[in-house]
Amino acid sequence: MPKNGCFGRWKTTAGGWEPDLLERIGAAIGEEAREQGVGLVLGSGANLKRNPLCGRSFEYFSENPLLAGKLAAGFIRGAENKGAATSLKHFAVNSQELCRFTSDSVLDERTLRELYLTAFEIAVREGNPSTVMCAYPKLNGTHCSDNEQLLTGILRREWGFDGMVVTDWGAMNDRIAGFKAGCDLNMPGGSGFMEKDVRSAVKSGTLPETAVDTAARRVLELVLRSAEKQKEPCVCDYGAHHVLARQAAEEGAVLLKNEQDLLPLREKTRIAVVGAMADV
């Protein structure tokens, strides 16, 4: 994990409304990834903050799709320009943790396009990430890993994405359907999930061998490109990155009005600290 404090501060950085700052953060993390031998940075996240129960909200930027897309694109440009591949996630409509492997995000086309996909489209078109990570849940009845309309029709054909699609960890639903949909890499690595089924499907002709070849080519292209980038010299100034992390925190700070003189808290005032993190 990169050593500066920017990686977990997406909510804070969104408060700054500065794509250029995110590009600098991306460049810093890209340098650190290169210096530490990391070929692929798993970020940034571009889902909308629509549900307070979404356990991945710390990785997302905003309720505003334009802001989220612009900031994600800035981060991606910065990291990719330093030779580190990025993974735009979690594609798409990933809004809750409850039953996240089986839940179904049901929404009409206009809502999908104008709200939930807008940030991803901006990030793909303006950032050009090396990879996109598909999400756990279903989208209108079809798991994202199996969703040809999402991964091929929209992402590749409409938006022009030409990189690799990787699953979130454990998000592959049906590997045969995944190959057909345009899902290239099943994570975590080393999984033998449905390998025999895939071989049988190729032999029977129900799964075109070209679909497997295409996925393998995309994976190998990323591996070979990352290997070449690792050969290039990389200068990493951690001190400067710590300064940048502090600047990001400062510029993302949001001032609140002290209405009705709530602060400072009066003596013997009781407050509630809510959530599992309160225990630790």
Residue among 20, 104, 168, 174 flagged as catalytic = 168
Q: Give residue-wise pLDDT tens across range 102-119.
A: 999 999 999 999 999 999
Residue 1 within any structural domain of the chain: no
The chain-wide mean pLDDT, for the chain, equals: 92
Residue 152 within any structural domain of the chain: yes
Residue 174 within any structural domain of the chain: yes
Residue 216 within any structural domain of the chain: yes
Residue 230 within any structural domain of the chain: yes
Residue 5 within any structural domain of the chain: no
Band (4; pLDDT cuts 50, 70, 90): very low
CB atoms within 10 A of CB 132: 29
Residue 49 within any structural domain of the chain: yes
Residue 55 lies in domain: 10-279
Q: Where are the alpha helices (DSSP H) in the chain?
A: 10-14, 19-35, 65-81, 109-111, 118-127, 148, 175-181, 195-204, 209-231, 238-251
Could you tell me the CATH number of the domain that includes residue 167? 3.20.20.300
Q: Which range, of 46-60, 61-75, 85-99, averages the lowest pLDDT?
A: 46-60
pLDDT of residue 64: 95
3-state helix/strand/coil string of 29-94? HHHHHHHCCCCEECCCECCCCCCCCCCCHHHCCCCCHHHHHHHHHHHHHHHHHCCCEEEEEEECCC
Percent of the chain at pLDDT > 90 equals 79
Return d(Cα 139, Cα 44) in angstroms, integer: 21
Q: Give residue-wise pLDDT tens across range 141-185.
A: 999 999 999 999 999 999 999 999 999 999 999 999 999 999 999
Reported pTM = 0.90
Band (9; pLDDT cuts 50, 70, 90): low
Q: Does the annotation count 237 as an active-site position?
A: no
Return d(Cα 280, Cα 277) in angstroms, integer: 5
Q: Considering its fold, how many domains does the chain have in total?
A: 1
Q: What is the mean pLDDT of residues 2-18?
A: 65
Residue pointed to by tokens 């951690």: 238
Half-sphere exposure of 70 (CA within 13 A, CB side): 15
Residue 258 within any structural domain of the chain: yes
pLDDT at 1 over 80: no
Is beta strand 131-134 parallel, antiparallel or unpaired with respect to 104-105?
unpaired
